[in-house]
Structure 1
Amino acid sequence: MQRHVYDCNDGCPVESTLQIISGKWKSVIIYHLLDKKVCHFGQLQHELKDCSRRMLALQLNDLEKDGIIKKNVYQFNPLKTDYQLTEFGKTLEPVINSMASWGKIYNQKRS
């Protein structure tokens, strides 16, 4: 049986993907945006109970810079902000869904 050797030199596709979704909360944020389509900052904060407000803001900022999410700011008093996936961000759906499926199997195995 021939063993497959993964080449993770410059331009490694797995490394590229992990650079975008790594961090404790980025994949979870994407997961919630895939489910809800649009989320206000407060909704995300409620969903990610263990994530500090500052960390959530940093993770959202990174995802926005990488073109994964779009930030919408509404000039109400108080200011309202929501987030949604860009078309490019939506291409991560199979990756996030695979992670969710594997996580369910893992959680059941641990129980």
Structure 2
Amino acid sequence: MKKLRNYDSAPGCSMEAALHILGGKWKGVILFHLFKDGTLRFSELQRHLVSINQRLLTKQLRELEEDGLVIRHVYPVVPPKVEYSLSDEGKELQHLIMELSLWGRKWLERRGMKTAIDEDLDALKEMFAKTEALDELGE
């Protein structure tokens, strides 16, 4: 029996479709690291996401690949080498993901909280500004 996924039936609205694709605790974080760091191997992604287990990371990556946001490139070598990068469709989410990251940082700061890994807010803002400038050049 085929598993129902990725809208074998019509979504109720466009927001439901977007949240269905990006739903899951780790998908946004995976996309964020692919934006921030570029192409990453599985083990590199796993190092960035310290509290995710291998099985769940694999599942989330497969779903992102199935939805057309991530490209999985397998190299025919021993031991196996697999790299993940953003597809053109995945790159369209960069503005949204960066805005969410900045909003999350401000939310934490207003409550006097920090992330487990010390992030440089200025570097995030700078990266976001560069992507906005590139987007404007492309239009």
Q: TM-score, normalised by structure 1?
A: 0.88
2:37 counterpart residue number: 36
For residue 78 of structure 2, give the secondary structure of its aligned residue in structure 1. coil
Between the two proteins, the alignment pairs up a number of residues equal to 102
- The correspondence of residues 50-69 of structure 1 with structure 2, limited to 5 A, is 50-69=51-70
Shift of 1:91: 0.4
Aligned to 1:76: 77
The sequence identity of aligned pairs, in percent, is: 37
In structure 1, runs of 5+ residues without a counterpart are 1-9
Determine the structure 1 residue equivalent to 2:14: 13
2:137 aligns with none
One-letter amino acid of the counterpart of residue 66, structure 2: K
Question: What SS does structure 1 have at the residue aligned with 2:50?
Answer: coil
Aligned partners of 2:29, 2:88: CA distance in 1, in Å? 18
Moved over 6 A (4+): none
**Aligned-partner Cα distance in 2 for 1:16–1:99:** 18
SS of the residue corresponding to residue 73 of structure 1 reads strand
| CA RMSD after TM alignment | 1.0
How far, CA to CA, are the matches of 1:36 and 1:70 in structure 2? Answer: 15
Query: 5+ residue gaps in structure 2?
Result: 1-10, 113-139
Deviations 1:52-110 (A, max 9, x none): 00000000000000000000001111000010000000001111011111101111012
2:104 maps to 103
Give TM-score, length-normalised by structure 2: 0.71
Q: Distance in 1 between the 2:64 and 2:32 partners?
A: 13
Q: State how far apart, in whole Å, the 1-side matches of 2:37 and 2:99 are.
A: 18
